[in-house]
Amino acid sequence: MKDRIEKIKRLAEPFMKSTFYSPANEDDIFAFEKSNDIIIPRAYKEFLMLTNGAILFGGDVFLYGVSGDIKYHVNYDFTGGQVPKQLLILGYYRDRHICYDHLNDIFAFYTDEDYESIEEECMIFNDFVEVLDYAIDIAEN
C-alpha cells in the first residue's frame, strides 16, 4: 500500500496533483465504524492508517476518510441514497462510486446497476491495492 502512495506522489505534473491527509489511527477507525454501524475492510483500514483520505490525480479520484478535516467521510453517497445498502462507499473515481461489497468480498466501481448484477455490470477488484493500481495505470497513460 505504501509503495502505491509513493508512486502516486511521484506523478507530479500540476494537473495530476494529489493531496494526502494525516493518517487515522485505529481508535479513529474503530470509533467511526461503531458510530456509523459499519465495518471497513482491512485493506482500506491499512490505507486510512497511511492517509485518512486523499484527493488523487487532480481530483479524478476522491478516497474518503473517517475523521478530522476531510471533505467526505466513508459511506458518503453523492447520489443521495441510490447506492445499494450492501455496498460501503469508500470514494469515487470520476463519476463512479468506489465501493466495497461485504457479501462478495470485492471492490467495485459502481454507478447505478442493480445489486444482483454488480459482478457483471461493474469493474470489479479483489483488493483495494488493485483499485489504486488501476487508477495509477490510467493516470500514467
Q: What is the 3-state secondary structure (H, E, C) of 85-138?
A: CCEEEEEEECCEEEEEECCCCEEEEECCCCHHHHHHHCEEECCHHHHHHHHHHH
**Full-model pTM:** 0.94
Residue 68: the pLDDT is: 82
- The total number of structural domains that make up the chain: 1
Whether the pLDDT of residue 73 is over 80: the answer is yes
Return the CATH number at 60.
3.40.1580.10
- Structural domain for 97, as ranges: 2-140
Radius of gyration for the alpha carbons in the chain, expressed in angstroms and rounded: 14
SS3 39: coil
pLDDT top residue among 95 and 101: 101
Residue 71: pLDDT band (50, 70, 90) is confident
HEC profile of 54-96: EEEHHHCEEECECCCCCCCECCCCCCCCCCCCCEEEEEEECCE
Residue 69: pLDDT band (50, 70, 90) is confident
pLDDT tens profile 12-58? 677 889 999 999 999 999 999 999 999 999 999 999 999 999 999 99
Residue 13: the pLDDT is: 79
